Amino acid sequence: MTCASGSRKECATWLSAVVLLAACSAGCGDPDGYSPELRYPVRTDPIIVKPPTTETAVPDRPGVLPIMNMLALNAPNHPLHSMLKDGPPLDPSVLAPNDRAVLQTTMDELFGTPLVPRTAGPDAEFNLRLREELDQTDAKLATGSLLYRQHCLHCHGLAGDGRGPTAFWINPHPRDYRPGLYKFISISDPQGREMRASKEDLARTVRRGLDGTAMPAFSTLSDEELSAITAYVIHLSIRGEVELNSMKNFLTFPAGQRTWDNDKEMIQSWLPTSGDNWFSSQQGAVVTPKPYPKAYESEEGFAQSVKDGWDIFKTPGDKQGGDCLKCHTDYGRKAQFRYDAWGTMVRPADLTLGVYRGGRRPIDLYWRIHNGIAGSGMVRSPHFQPTTKDEIASGKDRLWSLVNFLQVLPYPAMREKYGIKID
Ligand code: HEC
Ligand code: HEC
C-alpha cells in the first residue's frame, strides 16, 4: 500500500508506523523506560579510604556534597584538604583507559543495563541462589528498575551512588548504596560480621520513609512493587560493591604490580564476595529483643527503669556505661557535625526532639542501640549484651531501660514526672 492509493486514515496509520520505526532504530526501548543505549557509568567520584575526623558546627552548603571530586579537595582552602595527608581518597578519575574499558565491559556483562538489568556471573549455581534468595530475576529487576526510575533516581542516582540531581540539595544526603552499608537494620551477627540489610529492612525503609530526612514514605506502593524495588536496590548495591572493590584493586596495584593474572576474572571474583554478604544477611540474624521485664510494667518499676536508663546514658564506657553523652553532647542538643563512612556529614541525633529516622517504635530504638548505626560512627555497645547475671537476678534490663529513658526524654512534663533534669 502507498499513500497515493490508500484512504486517508490508512495513510496516517502507515505514516506513524514509519515514524515510530525510524525513531526506534535510533534507539528506543520500553516506551516508559530507558534507552537500550544507556549503560551504568563507571564510577568517577573519590573513594573514601578514611573519613576525616574533623567536626564542624554547620553542615556542607546546599548544592554541594563535601567530597565531590579530587580537584576540589586539592584546593588548600577546602575544609577537607588535610585529608590528602591523613588518608587520601582513591581517585577513580585517574584509572588507566585500559582498566576502565575492561571494567566497563565486565560490569556490563555481570549487571546488564538500566533497561535490562541482571545480576549474574559465570557460576550457574551461584546465579540460582541470587535468584532464589535475593529475588535477582530478570523480570523483577526490570520492574524494579522502572519503579526506581520513577520514584528514587532523582535522589539516589542512576547507579545508586546517592548523587541524583536532588541529592546535592538535601541533608542528610541520600544513601549511596555502593559500599553496601545500611543504617536502619534489624539484623546483627553474633560473631560481629558486617551485615548488609534484610529484604524486609529495605522494604520497611521504603514503605515508611525515614523521619526527619527527605526520604519519603512510599506507603501506596503494593507489596509486589516494594519487593521489586528492594530487589533492584540489592542489584545496585552488589553492582556498586563489585565496582568499588575492583577499582580499589586497579588503583592500588598499577599495571606491572598486579597480584592477579586476568583482569576480567579479578572483577568477576568480587560478585560472590558481595553476594555472600547479602545471603548471610537474609539468614535469620534478626535481633529478637529480650523479653520486656515484668517489673517495668508497674508505675514504680517503669519510673525506676527510666532513672536507670538515664544513669546508663550518662555513665562513661570505662565504668560500664553507655557513654551516650560522648557523642550526643547535651543529649544531642549541642552535637557537632562529623563525617560518616560515605564521606558525607552526620550529626549525633538530638534525642530531646523525639524524631527518629529509623522509626519510633520501642523495637526500632532497641535495634538502634543493640546494633549501633552502621557507617555513622555509632557502634554497637559491648555493655548491653549479653544480659549480666546481676541484671537477671534483679529482673532488670539495661537496654530496655535505655529505651524507656529515650521515650521520656523529649517531653518536659514526663521528664518532670520522672525526675529527669537535663538543663
Ligand atoms: C527526596 C529524596 C529521596 C527519594 C525520592 C528517595 N530517597 Fe531513599 N533516602 C533519602 C535520604 C536523604 C536517605 C538517607 C537518610 C539518612 O542517611 O539518614 C535515604 C536512604 C535510603 C535508604 C537507606 C536506608 C538505610 O538503612 O540506611 C534506602 C534503602 C533508600 N533510601 C531507598 C530508597 C528507594 C528505594 C527510593 C524510591 C522508592 C527512595 N529511597 C527514594 C532520600 C530519598
Ligand atoms: C560514637 C558516637 C555515638 C555514641 C557513643 C552514641 N551515638 Fe547514638 N548516634 C550517633 C550518630 C552519629 C547518630 C546519627 C545517625 C544518623 O542519623 O545517621 C546517632 C543516632 C542515635 C539515635 C537516633 C536513631 C534514629 O533512628 O534516628 C538514637 C536513638 C541514639 N543514637 C541513641 C544512642 C544511645 C542510647 C547511645 C548510648 C548507648 C548512643 N546513641 C551512643 C553517634 C553516637
Average pLDDT over residues 167-191: 94
Phi, psi of 327 (to 5 degrees): -105, -45
Tell me whether residue 406 is in a domain.
yes
> Which pLDDT belongs to residue 284?
67
Residue 179 has pLDDT above 80, yes or no: yes
169 and 275 share one domain: yes
Tell me whether residue 16 is in a domain.
no
Number of independent structural domains in the chain: 2
CA 62 – ligand 1 centroid, Å: 18
112 and 139 share one domain: yes
The answer to whether the CB of 215 is under 6 A from ligand 1 is yes
> Which pLDDT belongs to residue 155?
98
| Mutation test residue for ligand 1: of 176, 178, 215, 357, the one with most atoms within 8 Å of CB | 215
CA 71 – ligand 1 centroid, Å: 28
> Which pLDDT belongs to residue 47?
93
Q: Which atom of ligand 1 is nearest to the CA of 182?
A: 27
275 and 322 share one domain: no
The answer to whether the CB of 233 is under 6 A from ligand 1 is yes
Starting from the CA of residue 53, give the closest ligand: 2
Q: Nearest C-alpha to atom 20 of ligand 2 is from which residue?
A: 349
405 and 367 share one domain: yes
> Which pLDDT belongs to residue 203?
98
> Which pLDDT belongs to residue 21?
44
pLDDT band at 333 (very low <50, low <70, confident <90, very high): very high
DSSP string, 211-229: TTSS----TTS-HHHHHHH
> Which pLDDT belongs to residue 257?
93
351 and 307 share one domain: yes
> Which pLDDT belongs to residue 314?
96
> All 3 cell numbers of residue 259?
597480584
Q: Nearest C-alpha to atom 32 of ligand 2 is from which residue?
A: 369
164 and 233 share one domain: yes
> Which pLDDT belongs to residue 181?
96
CA 82 – ligand 1 centroid, Å: 30
Chain mean position to CA 306 = 32
pLDDT band at 70 (very low <50, low <70, confident <90, very high): confident
The answer to whether the CB of 196 is under 6 A from ligand 1 is no
> Which pLDDT belongs to residue 15?
46
Starting from the CA of residue 369, give the closest ligand: 2
Q: Which atom of ligand 1 is nearest to the CA of 181?
A: 27
Residue 77 has pLDDT above 90, yes or no: no
Output the pTM of the full model: 0.92
> Which pLDDT belongs to residue 259?
93
Tell me whether residue 238 is in a domain.
yes
- Which of the listed residues 280, 307, 334 is the one where a domain comes to its end? 280
Average pLDDT over residues 304-319: 94
Range of the domain at 320: 294-417
320 and 413 share one domain: yes
Tell me whether residue 109 is in a domain.
yes
Tell me whether residue 80 is in a domain.
no
The answer to whether the CB of 345 is under 6 A from ligand 2 is no
267 and 302 share one domain: no
274 and 312 share one domain: no
276 and 193 share one domain: yes
Q: Is the peptide bond before 190 cis (omega within 30 degrees of 0)?
A: no
Tell me whether residue 3 is in a domain.
no
Q: Which atom of ligand 2 is nearest to the CA of 338?
A: 12
> Which pLDDT belongs to residue 238?
98
Tell me whether residue 198 is in a domain.
yes
The answer to whether the CB of 357 is under 6 A from ligand 2 is yes
The answer to whether the CB of 110 is under 6 A from ligand 1 is no
Neighbours of 347 (CB within 10 A): 20
Tell me whether residue 10 is in a domain.
no
Starting from the CA of residue 173, give the closest ligand: 1
Distance CA 389, CA 383 (A): 13
CA 328 – ligand 2 centroid, Å: 7
The answer to whether the CB of 346 is under 6 A from ligand 1 is no
Average pLDDT over residues 90-104: 95
- Which of the listed residues 236, 258, 280 is the one where a domain comes to its end? 280
pLDDT band at 27 (very low <50, low <70, confident <90, very high): very low
> Which pLDDT belongs to residue 283?
84
CATH of the domain at 390: 1.10.760
CATH of the domain at 147: 1.10.760.10
| Mutation test residue for ligand 1: of 210, 347, 364, 373, the one with most atoms within 8 Å of CB | 210
Q: Nearest C-alpha to atom 40 of ligand 2 is from which residue?
A: 324
DSSP string, 323-391: -GGGTSGGGGTTPPBEE-TTSSEE----TTS---TT-SSHHHHHHHHHH-BTTTTBPPPGGGSSPPHHH
Residue 385 has pLDDT above 70, yes or no: no
CA 156 – ligand 1 centroid, Å: 7
Average pLDDT over residues 211-227: 97
Distance CA 189, CA 133 (A): 18
240 and 370 share one domain: no
* CA distances for 164 relative to 115, 148, 152, 244, 268, angstroms: 18, 12, 9, 18, 27
The answer to whether the CB of 40 is under 6 A from ligand 1 is no
> Which pLDDT belongs to residue 413?
98
> Which pLDDT belongs to residue 32?
63
Least confident of 218-222, 228-232, 292-296: 292-296
Phi, psi of 168 (to 5 degrees): -70, -20
CA 117 – ligand 1 centroid, Å: 21
Q: Give the tens place of pLDDT for each residue, 107-146.
A: 999 999 999 999 999 999 999 999 999 999 999 999 999 9
Q: Give the tens place of pLDDT for each residue, 36-69.
A: 999 999 999 999 988 888 898 888 888 888 887 8
> Which pLDDT belongs to residue 351?
98
pLDDT band at 388 (very low <50, low <70, confident <90, very high): low
> Which pLDDT belongs to residue 116?
97
The answer to whether the CB of 277 is under 6 A from ligand 1 is no
Q: Nearest C-alpha to atom 29 of ligand 1 is from which residue?
A: 202
131 and 259 share one domain: yes
Average pLDDT over residues 215-223: 98
Q: Nearest C-alpha to atom 19 of ligand 1 is from which residue?
A: 174
Residue 23 has pLDDT above 60, yes or no: no
More confident of the two residues 360 and 28? 360
> Which pLDDT belongs to residue 6?
43
- Which of the listed residues 235, 255, 280 is the one where a domain comes to its end? 280
